[in-house]
Amino acid sequence: PTIRLSDYQEPAFWVDTVKLSFDLDPTATRVTSKITFRANETRADGPHDLKLDGRNLKLITASINGNAIPADAILQDAEGLTIPSDLVPQDGFVWVAEVEINPSANTALEGLYMSNGMYCTQCEAQGFRKITFYPDRPDVMATFDVEIKGDAPVLLSNGNKLAHGIWHDPWPKPAYLFALVAGDLKSYDDTFTTASGRHVDLQIFVRDGDQDKCAYAMDALKRSMKWDEEVYGREYDLDLFMIVAVDDFNMGAMENKGLNIFNSKYVLASPETATDVDFERIEGIIAHEYFHNWTGNRITCRDWFQLCLKEGLTVFRDQTFTGDMRSHGVKRIDDVLQLRGRQFREDAGPLAHPVRPEEYIEINNFYTATVYEKGAEVIGMLKLLVGDENYRKALDLYFDRHDGQACTIEHWIAVFEDATGRDLAQFKRWYSQAGTPIVKVREEFANGRYTLHLSQSTPPTPGQPDKLPLVIPVRVGLLAGDGSEAAPKQLLELTQSEQSFDLGAFDEKPVPSILRGFSAPVILKHDVDNATRAFLLAHDSDPFNKWEAGSAYASDMLVDMALNDGAIDAAYLDAIHAVALDDTLDPAFRAFAVGLPSEEEITSAIVALGEKPDPDAIYGARNALSLAMAQKMADDLPNLYTAMQVDGPYSPDAEAAGKRALASTALGLLTKLDGGKTAAKQFDNADNMTLQISALAALIRAGAGETQSAAFYDQWKSDNIVLDKWFAIQASCATPDAGLDIVQQLATHPDFNWKNPNRFRSLIGPFAMNPAAFHRIDGKGYQFLADWLIKLDAINPQTTARMAGLFETWKRYDKKRQTLITGQLRRIADTKNLSKDTSEIVGKILG
Ligand code: ARG
Ligand code: ZN
C-alpha cells in the first residue's frame, strides 16, 4: 500500500519506557519487552485498539498489566498485531511480550542478524519491528533499558553501560535508533573531554586482528567531536561513544544512539589497504554519523517523509567539516560532481521525487541522492540567503526549541523565519518540487551599464507537470579584461520566472562568473564562447567556476566529437596544459581540472541536447581527447609525475593526497605514451594502496595489467575490503568489448560471495556504471544485471532495489536499447514473490 504524508496522524498511545531482555541464540533468540504506554491526550477519537508493528516474529506470550492476553484475542497478520480496545486500558498500561526470532535466517540485514558469527542490528527505517512488537515510528520516543544474555565476551547496546550486558539509555529515542551488538570483538580505545569537562570513553570494536586499522577513524571521531562543539556548540551527551565495524551491511553506516554501526569499509584503514579517497570518505562518514547525535537523535523526524530534516542537514554538516579539514574549493568540486552524477540523473528520470517526498511504498527506497545530497544543497542555499550569522542564530534556536522532539520541515523553516524575520514560504518550494531547475542567462551591455537577464524553469517530473518559480541564490563575480575582479562579488536572488539585474556601470563589458561555488543545484545555460572559457579557466578567483570553465569546455568538445566527429580544439589543450603545470595551484585542484568529464557526464550533456547517446562513440571521444592531452603534454608529463611524488612515510593528509591525485592523473596520461612502463614500475614499488591501485587501474584501462592483477589478488585474497577493490577495478576499467566477459568470469570466481552486499556491489555496480561495456547493443549487459537482481532479491530486497536504480536512464537511449532494457525490467517485475522494495523501483522506472 502507498503511505501518504497527508495521512499522518499522531499515535493513540505514547511510550515512556522500554525494557528489553535478549536471550541470544543464532537460530532462536528470545526477546522479552516491557513497554509502558501512556494515552495520547490529543487523540480523543477513542477508544483505541492497540496496534503494534511486527514482522517475522513468533509470539510466545503477551500480557497487559500482568493479565495474559488469550491467543484468540490477538489479531495477527504479516505486518503486526491488534489488541481490541476492550482489552486495552485507555489511560495507559504496561505491555509485556515474549517473542522468538531467527537471526541466522535474516539475510535481508534489517532487524537482528548475524555477520561473521557476531550479532548486530540495523533498525532504520523499520527494522525494529523485526525484533519485537512495537509502535515502530519515529515520533514515538522512549528511554530504553537493555539486558543481553549470551556467551559472547562483548555485549553492547545504546547509552551508558551499567554492567556486562546491561545498558541504560537516558535519552528518549525512537526505535530506529536502537542497536545491539554481541560477539568476540576487540576494541581500540581512546577518550575525549568535552568543552564542559565531561569525560567520554571512545571505543571502536572490530574483529581481532583489525585493531591496527582503527587509528584514523578514531582520530576523525575526535576531530568531529571538537568541530561540532566549536562550529555548532554541540557537546556529546553520554559517558561512552562506541563504533562497531560490520562486514555485512546494506548501507554505509548507522547513527544508533551511542553505538554507531558501520560498514567495515568505512572504518578500517591502513596505508597498505586504504586509498586517499578511502581515508577521506572514512573521515566524512565518521563525522556524519557522529553529527547525527544532535541532528537526528536529539532532534529526530516526526515521520519518514521528513527524512531530509536529519539527512540533508547532517550531510551539509559533514561537507562543511570536510571542507574545514581539507579544502573548501576542492570539496565543492567533488560534491558537485557527485550531485550531478547521481542526483541530477535521478531528478531527470522516472525516480524523480521531491527532497521531502509525499508518498512511498517502501521507505528504504527513499534513502536517495535527492533526500541526502539535494537536501544538503537546500540547507547550503538557506545559509547563503540568510548569511552565516543568521544561520548560526537559527540553528541555536532549532536546538533550543526542539531538543527531545520529533520534528518536521515546517519546524525547521519556522526557526529560520523566527530567527531572521524572513518569509521563507517561496523558498520552501525546494522541499516539495522535484526536478532540476534550469537557469538561463543573457548578458546585456548598453550605454555603459551591464545587466544580467536571468530566467528559470523546472521541467516536469512524474506526478508534477507544472512547476512554480523557486528562490535561487545566484552568486556572481565580474572580471575585468586583465582577469582582476571588476566589482565585488554579489548574491542575486532569482525569485521570478524572468528577472533582470542591473550590475552597474563599467568602461568595458566585464566577463561574468556566474553561480560561483555552485550556489544553487541548477543547470546553468549560458552561451559562452571557448575564448571566454579559457579566460575563466585561467583567471577566475572562484575555484569552482575556474574548474567549471575547463570542464564545460571539455564537455562541449567531447559532445561534438561523439555526435559529429568534431575536432579537438588546440586552444583547449593549451589551456589545460597551462593549468596542469601551474605550480601556484593546489595539486588536488589541478587533478580535477585535468581529469576529463566522465562518460556519464558526456552522456547527460548529449541527452540535454535532445540527442541519443552512443556509448561507444562517447568512450572513443574521451579516449581520443585524453590521448591528445597526453601527446600535447608529452615533454612535461614525466617531470610533473616526478614532482608530485611524495617522500617519506605515507600520510593521508589533504596535501599529500592532492599530490598523489595529480600524479595519478599524470600516470594515466603517461600510460598512453609509454606502453605502461611507468605504471608497472609504480605498481612494483608501491608501499601504499593509493599508488598500487592507481597503477593497476591505469594498466587495466590500457588493456594490460594481467600479471599485476594476478599479483594483486595473491597479495590481498584474505582481505575482503581490498578484494572488493580488485573486483570493482576490473569491472569499471574494463574496455567495452571485454567488459561483459570479464564480469561474467568474475561472477563465477570462488571469492564472489554475492550474499555479501559489498562484494555484490563491487562487481555489479561498477559494471553497470561502465557505459560502453554495460550498454552493449546485443543487450547481454542488461541481461547480466537483471539475472543478478532477480537472484539477490530473494534474499536481500533492500540492496536489490537500490541496484535496480541502475536501469533508471533507459529512456535516454535509442529504441533498440530501450526495448532491450524494458524487456529485462519486465522480466524482473514478473518474478514470483518479488519484494515490494524492488517492485516499487522497477514499477516506477517502467512508468
Ligand atoms: N541514517 C543512516 C545514515 O545516514 C542511513 C541508514 C539507512 N538505512 C536503511 N536501511 N535505510 O547515515
Ligand atoms: Zn545520515
Cβ(655)–Cβ(602) below 8 Å: no
* CA 288 to ligand 1: nearest atom: 12
Helix, strand, or coil (residue 42): coil
Ligand 1 midpoint to CA 471 (Å): 30
Bridge partners for 182 per DSSP: 119, 155
pLDDT of residue 421: 98
Distance separating alpha carbons of residues 517 and 519, to the nearest angstrom: 5
pLDDT of residue 644: 98
Average pLDDT over residues 752-761: 98
Instruction: Evaluate if pTM is beyond 0.90.
Output: yes
pLDDT digits (tens, 9 = 90+) for 554-587: 999 999 999 999 999 999 999 999 999 999 999 9
* CA 798 to ligand 1: nearest atom: 10
Q: Is the pLDDT of residue 842 over 90?
A: yes
| Active-site residue (options: 289, 600, 601, 808) | 289
* CA 254 to ligand 1: nearest atom: 2
Around 840, how many Cα atoms within 13 Å sit in the side-chain half-sphere?
Answer: 20
Question: ∠377-379-382 over CA atoms, to 5°?
Answer: 110
Please name the residues in contact with 440: beta carbons below 8 A apart, sequence gap of 6 or more. Answer: 454, 455, 456, 525, 526
Average pLDDT over residues 610-618: 98
Q: Is the pLDDT of residue 489 over 90?
A: no
Distance separating alpha carbons of residues 315 and 321, to the nearest angstrom: 10
pLDDT digits (tens, 9 = 90+) for 397-425: 999 999 999 999 999 999 999 999 999 99
pLDDT of residue 359: 98
Distance separating alpha carbons of residues 553 and 319, to the nearest angstrom: 27
Q: Is the pLDDT of residue 237 over 90?
A: yes
Average pLDDT over residues 804-812: 98
Average pLDDT over residues 261-274: 98
Please name the residues in contact with 688: beta carbons below 8 A apart, sequence gap of 6 or more. Answer: 271, 272, 650
Distance separating alpha carbons of residues 731 and 739, to the nearest angstrom: 7
Distance separating alpha carbons of residues 770 and 735, to the nearest angstrom: 9
Cβ(250)–Cβ(757) below 8 Å: yes
3-class secondary structure per residue, 328-371: HHHHHHHHHHHHHHHHHHHHCCCCCCCCCCCEECCHHHHCCHHH
Average pLDDT over residues 33-49: 97
CA distances from 529 to 137, 532, 648 (A): 54, 5, 45
pLDDT of residue 434: 98
Average pLDDT over residues 514-542: 98
Closest ligand to the CA of 176: 1
Bridge partners for 490 per DSSP: 476
Ligand 1 midpoint to CA 732 (Å): 26
pLDDT of residue 57: 98
Ligand 2 midpoint to CA 545 (Å): 29
pLDDT digits (tens, 9 = 90+) for 448-485: 999 999 999 999 999 999 999 999 999 999 999 999 99
Helix, strand, or coil (residue 168): strand
Cβ(698)–Cβ(668) below 8 Å: yes
Phi then psi for 343, rounded to 5 degrees? -80, -45
Q: Which helix (H) or strand (E) holds 254?
A: strand 253-254
Please name the residues in contact with 113: beta carbons below 8 A apart, sequence gap of 6 or more. Answer: 103, 106, 107, 119, 120, 121, 122, 248
Average pLDDT over residues 61-89: 97
ipTM beyond 0.95?
yes
Helix, strand, or coil (residue 389): helix
Cβ(554)–Cβ(295) below 8 Å: no
79 is catalytic: no
pLDDT digits (tens, 9 = 90+) for 497-522: 999 999 999 999 999 999 999 999 99
**In whole numbers, what is the pLDDT of the chain averaged over residues?**
98
Cβ(436)–Cβ(522) below 8 Å: yes
Average pLDDT over residues 819-837: 98
Closest ligand to the CA of 309: 2
